[in-house]
Structure 1
Amino acid sequence: MESTTEYPIKTAGYNMVNDVPVFNEDNMLADIEKALEDSAHQFTTLDYIYLTEEDNTLVGVISIKNLMACGDKSLKARDIMIRDMVTTDVTNDQENVVYLALSHGLKSIPVVNEEKGFMGVVPYDTILQIFNHEVQSDVFNFGGIFHRVGDEYTTIHSSALHMIRSRLPWLIIGVIGGTLAASLIAQFEELLSSFIALASFIPVMVYMSDAAGAQTEALIIRSMALESHLNVRKYLAREVVVATTLAAVSGLFAAFLAYMTRQSLILGVIIFLALFLSIIASVTINTFAPIILKKFNYDPALATGPLATIFSDIATLAIYLAVAMTLLRGA
């Protein structure tokens, strides 16, 4: 078997171990049990026994529990092995391994190559470590904190300098983004002063587009993590339908509330069109950002949090004010 260090970090191949019990499907259960008694200390994990053919093709698996429970030890391994196995490719993302283990209730996941040859196993303790690190990393990314997985980050053990260095970069970027948004609004001061109701709906516009974008972002990043060969075209086709529906319903509801509270039909029309376009823009930004990052071998989760919020907010404000100016000029 190959060395795990030959595979890219954060893949199944990188996280697998090779020292696991492997036998031929023709071996008798009595022989397997005797071999395990003699060499159990040599294995990293003993949750399952993996069965292969002569060419090392993985054909089945037997849990230790089922082996011990079998009363007839004269049977061959193939007689009680599970043929319909859950496996993962050596190049699959480690998040996909965690998903497979949790969704199927398995303690370890066998790793195979393109020819279905048995390469090793991602053990239970490694799966738990990956799960902890990935959740931790995603939480920090959503919160806008630069954090290297593996470093401790707690209010008790981290130094003040470390916490400042982790949190300050995105805050600085946020200030820059906020300044750009303020500059954009300043270009429409005359419009806002002549129709003050527009200003009161800016928070609504920004919140709605951010919320729709965040939902899209979370779903596509999860899909990309769990499906190593995600059909992007099919996913985008579905997202177009979803985004259009969400934008239309949200826009109509917001327009209705705007009309009821301000008794202004033109304001309702502005709110509808602007929110419709803003939600579509936000969903588009938050859909393509992770895809582009993954295309260039960057972590798609980097598209989350403050970075996506800045682009979404600026796009929303630009659309809102441009729609308002266009419609009010023609009114």
Structure 2
Amino acid sequence: MIDSDIPIVKVGTPVVEVQTMLSHKANTFHNINYIYVVEKNNILKGIISIKSILSCSNINLKVDNLMEHNLITVNPTTDRERVVYMALSHGIKNMPVVDDENHLMGIISYDNIMRIFNHELESDIFNFGGIFHRVGDEYTSIKSSAWIMIKSRLPWLIIGIIGGTVAASVISTFESLLSKLLVLAAFIPVMVYMSDAAGTQSEALIIRGIALDPKLPIKSYFLRELKVAAVIAVASGIFVYIISIIGWGNPVLSGIIGLSMFFSIIAAVAVATLSPLLFKKIKLDPAVATGPLATILSDIITLAIYFSVALLFFDIFNI
């Protein structure tokens, strides 16, 4: 991944020497988009584009006067997604790799950056679909064996069945409640969908944030997400309250739905935000482990909130 066959010159080298070096050794380098300027002990000080070197008319000029000092670099432990993000967001063709003391180790070439990008994109697509996999031709090709595809897809489906069974048991617990106001059952899909949708949005953002910024301020990020969730929950609760009043004309039903929607969305966002952080802490890939598990947990919590609020309203209004 790290390519060390790159043109490197010392600080203070005249342009003419760099031009001569390139004319004699160009074929020995894997990548010559940039010249890398180092000082003693191979400490990276700057880079110069090949265009700048070849177009420089003052051949006695020192490379120090041409090089770019404000460098974007990564180290060998930088997350792959962050490497891609930094390269694309700053328009960098080749990403210099340095150690903690800024010693130049090599570069990650544009081809490798794009390869990582494609790998991570495939990985995220599969993960959000609940598929265990290793990204590769054997998993993405139409020629993949049936057994490989079964092993990659079945585990989360089994977990989904278990989660669905737990959700069904929650509903059956409140069977007598449903018999008093059957229309409550009609709104279960709405409640579950809204909490899942809000949770998925938060989940995508936190997973991206973790990948791109290892020092993500967790506390402030979580509080911000709760503020956003509260506003979304209030707006959604009011909207569904109005819709249900217009459609069914039952204030108790509308109150149950509106209040449940509010608490369910906040709970779903909290679960979706905290789950990736927990998985990261125990050294599991948040993108792989979070999706289906967070959805199942969110569904169960949503149903528990919905029926608990309904039970509270029934007690208050003696239904």
Q: What do you get for the CA RMSD once the two structures are aligned?
A: 1.4
Q: Post-superposition shift, 1:329?
A: 1.7
User: Does 1:175 find its partner at 2:157?
Assistant: no
User: Does 1:228 find its partner at 2:214?
Assistant: yes
Partners of 2:279 and 2:290 within 8 A in 1: no
Determine the structure 2 residue equivalent to 1:42: 28
Partners of 2:130 and 2:292 within 8 A in 1: yes
Determine the structure 1 residue equivalent to 2:79: 93
Q: Which region of structure 1 is more displaced relative to structure 2, 211-220 or 249-258?
A: 249-258
User: Does 1:148 find its partner at 2:148?
Assistant: no
Amino acid at match of 2:255: V
What is the number of equivalent residue pairs in this alignment?
317
Determine the structure 1 residue equivalent to 2:2: 16
Determine the structure 2 residue equivalent to 1:260: 246
Partners of 1:290 and 1:302 within 8 A in 2: no
Amino acid at match of 2:159: I
Q: Post-superposition shift, 1:20?
A: 1.5
| Partner SS for 2:106 | strand
1-structure distance, mates of 2:64, 2:8 = 13
Q: Which region of structure 1 is more displaced relative to structure 2, 270-279 or 116-125?
A: 116-125
Determine the structure 2 residue equivalent to 1:133: 119
Q: Post-superposition shift, 1:127?
A: 0.6
Determine the structure 2 residue equivalent to 1:246: 232
**Deviations for 1:46-100, whole angstroms, at most 9, x for unmatched residues?**
1111111224221110111221122222211111111112112332101111011
| Partner SS for 2:3 | coil
Q: Post-superposition shift, 1:210?
A: 0.3
Amino acid at match of 1:307: L
The within-5 A match list for 1:56-71 is 56-71=42-57
Q: Post-superposition shift, 1:232?
A: 0.9
2-structure distance, mates of 1:283, 1:330 = 29
Amino acid at match of 1:160: A
User: Does 1:194 find its partner at 2:180?
Assistant: yes
Gaps of at least 5 residues in structure 1 are 1-14
1:76 aligned to which of 57, 62, 65: 62
Q: Which runs of 4+ in 1 moved over 6 A?
A: none
Determine the structure 2 residue equivalent to 1:12: none
Query: Sequence identity, in percent?
Result: 51
Determine the structure 1 residue equivalent to 2:197: 211
Determine the structure 1 residue equivalent to 2:171: 185
| Partner SS for 2:54 | helix
| Partner SS for 1:49 | strand
| Partner SS for 2:40 | coil
Q: Post-superposition shift, 1:112?
A: 1.8
Partners of 1:274 and 1:319 within 8 A in 2: yes
| Partner SS for 2:140 | coil
| Partner SS for 1:82 | coil
| Partner SS for 1:88 | coil
Partners of 2:33 and 2:50 within 8 A in 1: yes
| Partner SS for 1:135 | helix
Determine the structure 2 residue equivalent to 1:31: 17
Q: Post-superposition shift, 1:155?
A: 5.3
Gaps of at least 5 residues in structure 2 are none
Quick one: structure 1 residues 155 and 120, their matched pair in 2 at CA, closer, same or farther if it must change by over 3 Å?
closer
| Partner SS for 2:283 | coil
Give TM-score scaled by structure 1 length. Answer: 0.92
1:116 aligned to which of 93, 102, 111: 102
Q: Which region of structure 1 is more displaced relative to structure 2, 108-117 or 311-320?
A: 108-117
User: Does 1:310 find its partner at 2:302?
Assistant: no
Q: Which region of structure 1 is more displaced relative to structure 2, 231-240 or 277-286?
A: 231-240
Amino acid at match of 1:186: S
